[in-house]
Amino acid sequence: MNYQTKMKLRRWNRKPFIAYALLGITGFMYIVQEVLGGSTNPRVLVLLGAKVNELIVLGDWYRLITPMFLHIGITHLLFNALIIYFLGIQLENIFGHWRFFLLYLFSAIAGNAASFAFNQNISAGASTALFGLFGSTLVLGKLFPSNPQIGAMAKNFSLLIVLNLLFGMFSPNIDMAGHVGGLLGGYLLAYALSAPRAWEKNKQRQLVYTLIYVGVVALLIFIGYSRLIPITQLFN
């Protein structure tokens, strides 16, 4: 491999291509929603993978993942897209591409599992994953204690988290369970994944937080399933 090719690969590797890909997929799915009948159409949301508790119990476990690519209305989409762009790019630079992707994905799973356990309504949106990103910022100050810029970012997002949670408490259409679940998932995952340039590499701590994450998600799924298990008996 020649020098120019190596430099091109290095420049490409510095770009936040995971954040860009998430934005692209999210935008594409919104167009699909509109073509099929509208992003606020319940039939379209269910068809494309929104979180529906009864269908999850009946075997549609992929609905713990797919809701993060769907949005209800253009305002919902634009607000979440802005967060993916501004916060996602920063965190992808800190965590690295694949750690960032895992943080986003498994935060969404934790948030959707919490929604499955405690919210009976149909839900969709990237907010579960985005609150996971918020939750990860609470850990960054501990992973990079000597970096004042990261520390300042962590403090700023702490205030934003509080404001978002307070806003959600007074908005009946917001899935608070999904937000809190994503927030907790992101917090645990930030420790489990750590970051390439973090001051300390503690494999034991990473394992502990990974197991805690798995335990929390399993418990949430058990709660959601146990609350709706009579539904499955209707089809036996």
∠ Cα 187 197 146 (to 5°): 80
Q: Which of 71, 107, 136, 179 is catalytic?
A: 179
Residues 193/179/49/25 CA torsion (nearest 10 deg):
-60
> Using CA atoms, how far apart are residues 216 and 107, in angstroms rounded to an integer?
12
Please indicate whether residue 127 is annotated as part of the active site. yes
Considering 115, 127, 136, 194, which one is annotated as catalytic? 127
Q: Is 39 a catalytic residue?
A: no
Cβ 190 vs Cβ 136: under 8 Å:
yes
Catalytic machinery residues: 127, 179
